[in-house]
Amino acid sequence: MFLESAINPSHRRGWIEIICGSMFSGKTEELIRRLNRARIAKQRVEIFKPSIDTRYDETNVVSHNENSITSTPVQASSQILIYANNVDVVGIDEAQFFDDELVSVCNKLAGSGIRVIVAGLDMDFTGKPFGPIPDLMATAEYVTKVHAICMQCGNLAHYSHRKTADEKLVMLGETESYEPLCRECFTKARGK
């Protein structure tokens, strides 16, 4: 579906792709896969992540199974417009942590002929829509929802259950603090 077609500079068409889902669903792997393919097609690629995401690495975007790609950490989404100069493709990871302006930033980039690929959590640990992702999903041309495996029953999971009592929206973590769960197991776990 996402062809790395040669880009004709006189007639550049941009668009937005969203890769969303729970934690451990393969969002970052899929983002890295698409960006690597764009590089193989000799397209100019820039990758951004919010600077608060220091979980695996200060700069690189790193997946749970240790795939990685170099990125530029930025504090505010508006900085992406400044750094995304002379590029064909922009990748953005952990987009749920960005401010709401990310929606207009991505639309401006796409409007100027850039392919924009955004990965992020669609729901927070309570099951509510997370940050700018829902609005991005509404305005994107393409939305891919990927699934993890439920850690309780082995079915497909689309919730990220927090295993600790912490109620803060932003709490970086891994398997020590979060597990992907299916609807049934998440409802049971939240009911406790």
Ligand X SMILES: Nc1ncnc2c1ncn2[C@@H]1O[C@H](COP(=O)(O)OP(=O)(O)O)[C@@H](O)[C@H]1O
Ligand Y SMILES: Cc1cn([C@H]2C[C@H](O)[C@@H](COP(=O)(O)O)O2)c(=O)[nH]c1=O
Residue ranges that bind ligand X, judged by CB under 6 A: 21, 23-29, 63-65, 148-149, 151, 180
Site track for ligand Y across 155-184, x = CB under 6 A: -----x--------xxxxx----x------
Choose from ligand Y, Zn ion, ligand X, none: what does 180 bind? Cβ within 5-8 Å by kind: ligand X
In the annotated binding site, the residues are 21-28, 93-96, 150, 153, 170-173, 178, 182, 185
Q: Give the Å distances, CA to CA, from 125 to 54, 66, 99.
A: 19, 23, 18
String marking each residue 130-169 x if it binds Zn ion according to CB under 5 A? --------------------x-xx-x--------------
β-strands 115-121, 15-21 pairing? parallel
Distance (Å) of CA 115 to CA 2, 15, 31, 134, 158: 10, 5, 13, 19, 26
174 is a catalytic site residue: no
3-state secondary structure of 47: strand
Identify the active-site residue in 94, 141, 176, 184.
Answer: 94
Give the binding site for Zn ion (CB under 5 A).
150, 152-153, 155, 182, 185
Give the binding site for ligand Y (CB under 6 A).
23-24, 27-28, 55, 121, 124-125, 160, 169-173, 178
